[in-house]
Each structure stands twice: as structure tokens, then as C-alpha cells.
Amino acid sequence: MRLLIVGGLQGQIGLATKIAMDKGAKVTHASDIEQALSTLRGGIGADLVFCDVTLDIGQLVRGLAAERICTPVVACGIGTDTRRAVDAIRAGAKEYLPLPADAELIAAVLAAVADESHQLVHEDEAMTAVLSLADQIAGSEASILITGESGTGKEVLARYVHRKSHRADKPFISVNCAAIPENLLESELFGHEKGAFTGAIARRIGKFEEANGGTLLLDEISEMDARLQAKLLRAIQEREIDRVGGTKPVKVDIRIIATSNRDLAEAVKHGTFREDLLYRLNVVNLRIPALRERPKDIRALAHHFARKYAEANGVPYRPVSSPTERLLLGHYWKGNVRELENTIHRAVLLAQGPEIGPEAIRLPDGTQVGAAAPNLMPQNPAVQNAVVSATAVTRGLVGRTVSDVERDLILDTLDHCLGNRTHAANILGISIRTLRNKLREYSDSGLSIPQHGEQRVEQKMAG
């Protein structure tokens, strides 16, 4: 935990700092907001900011937003000045912490953003096998690619690897490649010099330098632009980066962990991801099974979240009943752990009686999980037949790859248009150039492609 304390706090700063350090925090101090922003730009990162409530909290929050520094701010003040506390919250502070410092209260605030919020709860053998491999390679310098569906806990596993590595006492820095606009991601990763572009009012240290000595997590790496992939590849190979607008390279010592919920091998085939970068990142692959593939974890996580959110909301702890466990085990959990967590949080608030019963397990729209769906089949026989036929077609696609389905759709559409490329492209909603490239690819693989006025003679390839 890295804590930045801003302001003098009328002499209470020393006690607050000591308590935070006793709880394991690494503390940095800035006398005012300008110095705080300068400190964060300079690469001395923070997971949490304590700011004197007498300073302009709004200015700090706006400054952090302008620099795209996603660090929560807690306002601190002597006594319980209700007006100042309310103003600080309205200005963007997450919490108000009264001083003199209370050790338990500071510990609670630190724990809210510390690694305890990234606990890796598991009981299933499938997850145990993943963690066994993670333990085996954590101490190495190898780059790791963590794959799995959205919501399975890829960042949690990345933090686990970091804690098990010899870099555990160094920074763990996470960058969500999908959440940052393409034109800003380069500066976010590699930093920039003053005046490098409009809005670059001062030198900014990027995430590579901020993570120096520690671990850099590139979350959802598949969303990165191809041009930036080339620069990332060089940074990994050479162990040095170039700031935007910089004149000389900067050496870095980091361990790279990347995550993706997409098949990067398929992305390579489609030309959206560099093959050489995939090889660099995928020295070791840790694939997290979907939650539905590890039923024991559903049970363990349900009980964990029930206790966690009962405590967080100040309500009595209710264990998950056996019928509820069976209901949870039968659900598909498309959103994986994230969906289960939200469902149990909701159930904690809705439950009545001594246990969390099945009636409290509800979807976001209020529908009870497992409830029988109403009969929505149209009464018109012709419409019924159309619905049945459409359902059969959809089920026929299950088990086939996207590329196979795409190929057959393109060729069937071209057949329908008697080989007219322009008409087929318009129906498919793609450019004529894209269509021609696809047809060239299919022709090279040995498929018969109809010319204008023709239909295919050969049958479709099996999916």
C-alpha cells in the first residue's frame, strides 16, 4: 500500500503517518496540492491520498482527473467539522477521516484499498491446478499471459503472482488497455515530456517507469492499437522505453503480466495482434477456468461474499442455505465471479430469516434466478414455425468457430447474388475490398469461388 499524505494537518500528520506505516503502508508527504500532483507525475505513485480538508480538495480531484491518475482521495481534518466534511465529499473525496488519528479507523480505510480486497478464494481442483502453476513460475522473470472469460478474476491472479514473486515489495501497477483512449494510451504507458503535445503541461512519468523494479499488468492487451504494440514489443525486448517527446531512452526493470478475454492466436490470424508480441508475452499461459467449470468455488465464493457484504453493509451475517447452494450451482454465471459477487451482495440486502434463501437470489432486473420463464412463443402457427427454424439454425452454430461460420455466410451470400461481389458486399455490410480479400483467402485454401453469373458447384467445407 502506497499512501500520499498532503498538507500539514495542524501537527497531526506525524501521528497519522506513524499509524499508517505501522499498518504496512509506504508513506510519502507533500506540503500542498501542486507538490502532490508533481510527486505523482514524477512516478512516485500512490494507491491512496490523505488530504488536509483545509486545502482545495476539488482542485486535487480535478488535477488527478486531468492527469488520468485514478487514485482515491480521503479528506482529513481536525475534529468533526460537518460542513467541511460534506464540502469535501461533494468536491470528490471518497471519505472524511476525523483527526486526531484513530488507529482502527485508519486501518479500516487502508484495508478498503489494500490487497485484502483482492483475495483469491478457491476450493475447486481446477483452480488449485492453476495456482500450483502460478506458484511454480512466480519467482521467475518470465512474462505471463493470463486468459479467461470476463469476470473470472484475471487481475486477482496477477496480484497473487506479484505477491509470490521476489518483486513483492515493489510496485504493482495496472493499466486497462481497453479503458484508455487509443491516443492517450502511449503517454499513459511510456510517459511524456513537457510540451510533447497539447495539454502536456509538465513531464509525466508513465506506468513503465512507475512500475520500475516491480510488476506491470497490461489488462485486456488485445485492445491495444497495432502501432503501439510495436513500441511495447521493443520496450519488452530492450528493457527501455521512450517517453513521448523524449530525446533519449529510459532503462526499466519490470516484470510484465498481460491479460486477455479473447483468443490472441485468432487475433494474430486476423492481423489485429502481432505474433512476435504474443510470443514475448505468452512465455507462460495461466488459463482461469470459467466459474461454471469449478463448482466448489461457487460455493466457497458465495459464503465469502455473504460474510463480506454483511459486514460492509452493517447487517447480520446470514449463511447461504443448502437449497440456495444448489440453485447457485445450477446457474450458468455468464459474468463469472463478478456476476456471482453482485448477486450475493444483492441477496445479503434482500434476505430475511436466519439464512440466505433461494428467494433472495435475483437477477439485476429483479427476476428470481432459476424461475421458470413465461411462455413467450407466439400463437400464430406460421410465426411459431419461423421461431423453431431460427432456433434450430442458431443451435447448429454451436461448436463451430467464428471463422468457419463467417466463411459459409460469405460464400452463401455470394451464391445468392450469383457471384456479384458488389451486391454480396452490400448485403453483408462489408467493403468490397474486405470481401475480395476474404475470397482470395478462401480460394487459396482450395475452395471454389463463383464468378459473376455463376453458383458454386462444390459443397461447403464441414465446420
Q: At 256, phi and psi to the nearest 5?
A: -95, 130
130 and 278 assigned to the same domain: yes
Least reliable range by pLDDT among 230-239, 286-295, 339-348, 387-396:
387-396
Interval 210-224 mean pLDDT: 93
Provide, rounded to the nearest whole percent, the portion of the chain with pLDDT above 70: 87
Ranges 23-27, 355-359, 374-378: which has the least confidence:
374-378
**Contact (CB, 8 A) for 108 and 61:** no
The C-alpha cell that represents 453 in the structure block = 453469373
- Same domain for 262 and 136: yes
- How many domains does the chain contain in total? 4
pLDDT winner (highest mean) among 47-56, 105-114, 399-408: 47-56
Tell me the average pLDDT across 65-74: 81
Mean pLDDT of 208-225: 93
Q: Do 301 and 424 belong together in one domain?
A: no
Residue 335 Cα distances to 150, 290, 387, angstroms? 7, 9, 27
DSSP structural state of residue 249: -
CATH of the domain at 352: 1.10.8.60
pLDDT of residue 53 exceeding 50? yes
Within-domain flag for 154: yes
Tell me what pLDDT residue 52 has: 87
pLDDT score for 220: 93
Provide the terminal-to-terminal Cα distance of the chain, rounded to the nearest Å.
Answer: 51
pLDDT class for 398, splitting at 50, 70, 90?
low
Question: Does 311 share its domain with 278?
Answer: no
Shared domain for 189 and 58, answered yes or no, is no
Q: Sheet of 26-30: strands edge to edge?
A: 26-30, 2-6, 48-52, 73-78, 95-99
Query: pLDDT at position 213, please?
Result: 94
Cα dihedral 421→422→425→431 (10° resolution): 110
Region of poorest pLDDT, from 132-136, 269-273, 382-386: 382-386
* pLDDT > 70? residue 453: no
Q: CA 302 to CA 245: how far, in whole Å? A: 50
Q: How confident is the model at residue 458 (pLDDT cuts 50, 70, 90)?
A: very low
Which pLDDT score is estimated for 395?
52
Residue 146 identity (one-letter amino acid): I
Q: 31 with 110, same domain?
A: yes
Neighbouring CB atoms inside 10 A of 326's CB total: 12
Does 295 lie in the same domain as 248? no
Tell me, yes or no, whether 449 lies in a domain: no
Question: Are 331 and 279 part of one and the same domain?
Answer: no
Question: Same domain for 102 and 154?
Answer: no
The DSSP element (H or E) to which 161 belongs, if any, is helix 154-164
Structural domain ending residue among the three candidates 67, 85, 116: 116
Residue 23 has pLDDT above 80, yes or no: no
Nearest CA to 346 out of 297, 304, 310 is that of 310
Per residue, what are the HEC states of 377-414? CCCCHHHHHHHHHHHHHHHHHCCCCHHHHHHHHHHHHH
Residue 423 covered by a domain: yes
> What is the rounded distance in angstroms from the CA atom of residue 147 to the CA atom of residue 155?
10
> Is residue 24 pLDDT above 80, yes or no?
no
Question: Helix H segments across 165-315?
Answer: 182-190, 207-210, 226-238, 264-269, 275-281, 295-313
Reported confidence tier of residue 375, pLDDT bands at 50, 70, 90: very low
Same domain for 142 and 205, yes or no, is yes
> For the residues 24-48, what does the mean pLDDT come to?
84
pLDDT digits (tens, 9 = 90+) for 287-344: 999 999 999 999 999 999 999 899 888 899 999 999 999 999 999 999 999 999 999 9
> Are 108 and 20 members of one domain?
yes
Does residue 406 fall inside a structural domain?
A: yes
Range of the domain at 280: 125-287
pLDDT tens by residue, 257-296: 999 999 999 999 989 999 999 999 999 999 999 999 999 9
- Per the CB < 8 A criterion, the answer to whether 193 and 243 are in contact is yes
Q: What is the CATH number of the domain that holds 184?
A: 3.40.50.300
| pLDDT of 15 strictly over 80 | no
State the pLDDT at residue 460.
43
Q: Tell me which of 443 and 140 has the higher pLDDT.
A: 140
Domain contains 220:
yes
Task: Round the average pLDDT of the chain to a whole number and report it.
Answer: 84
Whether 177 and 111 map to the same domain: the answer is no
- Report which of residues 256 and 201 the model is more confident about: 256
pLDDT at residue 408 in the model: 85
Q: What is the CATH number of the domain that holds 84?
A: 3.40.50.2300
DSSP letter at 319? P
Whether residue 463 lies inside any domain: the answer is no
pLDDT class of 461 with cuts at 50, 70, 90 = very low
Which residue's C-alpha cell is 525486448? Answer: 237
Report in angstroms the alpha-carbon separations of 463 from 72, 157, 401. Answer: 50, 35, 7
pLDDT tens string 70-88? 788 888 887 666 788 888 8
Question: How many whole angstroms separate alpha carbon 343 and alpha carbon 88?
Answer: 32
Q: How far is CA 343 from CA 239, 346, 368, 369, 376, in A?
A: 43, 5, 11, 10, 26
- Mean pLDDT (whole number) for 12-35: 80
Q: Is residue 393 part of a domain?
A: yes
Residue 105 clears pLDDT 70, i.e. is over it: yes
CB 72 within 8 A of CB 48: yes
Say how far apart CA 2 and CA 48 lie, in whole Å.
7
